[in-house]
């Protein structure tokens, strides 16, 4: 059975970039945000239930993220309702992926790893981190969110310090070289433990 390595970190901390480095080192990667993109697209399983709860969120038979973001800005509680629809569908997508993968190690990029209790299903966990000023600058640089939207998402996430305390491994994503070296250290450690087990 594949070794399940849960990868988390707050918004903009470097999960996707670090997941890519794990993939370059031979790991399979399942990405929760990418699963949400599939679920929201035409024919995706979230389109009907989101449309039922928020008819204005549907554009061209798909869930519009821009419409969702303005709904959340107007009604902050909308995010809880969206989560209650989306999270079970994401968990189903993950279970199917895990049952089919033949990789030795699978990295599961899950922003809400600890918040949703998915950490209990993992063999080990990794938290990516940078100082809060760097985090905010990186998110704002993308230009996809207002400061209010950033704060709304941040307030839904476990604080960075708590994630770091709970994770088995911490990777500082200040530079790519540093992140690559730490990914290799994590993989060496896991492989060592598996051969000694
Ligand atoms: C709020 C939405 C419309 C924003 O879309 P947008 O494309 O601008 O941003 P993106 O999806 O890339 O999210 C940016 C960051 O915020 C995180 N995030 C998204 N939703 C949440 C949430 N409900 N709670 C905490 N963090 C979240 C993402 O994981 C990511 O790290 C979208 O993220 C969404 O529909 N979220 C609800 C589904 C969900 O809970 N996803 C989290 C992973 S399962
Ligand atoms: N090790 C690193 N060195 C330098 N820059 C990095 C590193 N890791 C990530 N970044 C930069 O930080 C930004 C956020 O990274 P990334 O998209 O990987 O974060 P994320 O945690 O997946 O974000 P989100 O939570 O919004 O999905 C990007 O601009 C990326 O280029």
162 and 193 share one domain: yes
What's the ipTM?
Answer: 0.92
Q: What is the pLDDT of residue 108?
A: 98
Question: Domain boundary residue among 102, 121, 140?
Answer: 102
Question: Could you tell me what percentage of the chain is helix, strand and coil, using 3-state DSSP and rounding each to the nearest 5?
Answer: 60, 15, 25
Q: Would you give per-residue pLDDT tens digits along the chain (197 residues)?
A: 899 999 999 999 999 999 999 999 999 999 999 999 999 999 999 999 999 999 999 999 999 999 999 999 899 899 999 999 999 999 999 999 999 999 999 999 999 999 999 999 999 999 999 999 999 999 999 999 999 989 988 998 999 999 999 999 999 999 999 999 999 999 999 999 888 77
Sign of the C-alpha dihedral computed for residues 41, 156, 94 and 23 taken in this order: positive
Q: What is the whole-number distance in angstroms between the Cα of residue 180 and the centre of ligand 1?
A: 26
End residue of a domain, out of 102, 118, 151: 102
Tell me, in angstroms, the distance from the centre of ligand 1 to residue 177's CA.
Answer: 28
- 152 and 98 part of one domain: no
Do 95 and 189 lie in a common domain? no
Does one domain contain both 119 and 180? yes
User: What is the model's pLDDT at position 6?
Assistant: 98
Q: Both 71 and 40 in a single domain?
A: yes
Rounded to the nearest whole angstrom, what is the distance from the C-alpha of residue 98 to the centroid of ligand 2? 25
Residues 180, 117 share a domain: yes
Ligand 2 and 49: CB distance under 6 A: no
Q: Kind and range of the H or E element at 25?
A: none
pLDDT computed for residue 103 by the predictor:
96
Distance CA 109, CA 130 (A): 17
Say how many domains are in the chain. 2
Residues 125 and 196 in one domain: yes
Instruction: List the binding residues.
Output: 12-17
Does 160 share its domain with 64?
no
* Same-domain status, 50 and 65: yes
Task: Look at residues 102, 123, 146 and tell me which one is the last residue of a structural domain.
Answer: 102
Q: Determine the pLDDT at residue 195.
A: 82
CA 102 – CA 132 distance, rounded (Å): 37
Instruction: Tell me: do 87 and 132 sit in the same domain.
Output: no
**Quick one: which of 10, 2, 27, 15 has its CA closest to 187?**
27
User: What's the angle, vertex CA 180, arms to CA 177 and CA 181, rounded to 5?
Assistant: 90
On whether the CB atoms of residues 116 and 66 are closer than 8 A, the answer is: no
What is the rounded distance in angstroms from the CA atom of residue 97 to the CA atom of residue 101? 6
Annotated binding site for ATP: 12-17
Helices (H) and strands (E) in the chain, counts: 9, 7
Tell me, yes or no, whether 78 and 154 share the same domain: no
pTM of the model: 0.93
Pairing mode, strands 169-172 and 28-31: unpaired
* Parent domain of 84: 35-102
Q: Are 185 and 117 in a shared domain?
A: yes
In ligand 1, which atom is closest to the CA atom of 68? 3
CATH of the domain at 173: 3.40.50.300
**∠ CA 132-138-143, rounded to 5°:** 130
């Amino acid at each position: 059975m594949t070794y399940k390595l849960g990868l988390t970190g707050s918004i903009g901390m470097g999960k996707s970039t670090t997941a890519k480095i794990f993939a370059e080192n031979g790991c399979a990667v399942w990405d929760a945000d990418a699963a949400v993109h599939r679920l929201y697209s035409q024919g995706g399983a979230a389109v009907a239930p989101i449309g039922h709860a928020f008819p204005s969120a549907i554009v061209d038979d798909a869930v519009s993220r821009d419409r969702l973001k303005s709904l959340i800005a107007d009604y902050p509680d909308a995010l809880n309702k969206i989560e209650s629809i989306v999270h079970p569908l994401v968990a189903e997508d993950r279970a199917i992926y895990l049952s089919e993968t033949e990789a030795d190690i699978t990295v599961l990029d899950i922003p809400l790893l600890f918040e949703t209790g998915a950490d209990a299903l993992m063999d080990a966990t990794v938290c990516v981190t940078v100082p809060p000023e760097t985090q905010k600058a990186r998110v704002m640089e993308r230009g996809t969110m207002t400061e209010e939207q950033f704060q709304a998402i941040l307030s839904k996430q476990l604080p960075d310090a708590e994630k770091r305390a709970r994770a088995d491994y911490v990777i500082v994503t200040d530079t790519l070289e540093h992140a690559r070296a730490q990914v290799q250290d994590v993989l060496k450690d896991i492989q060592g433990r598996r051969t000694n087990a």
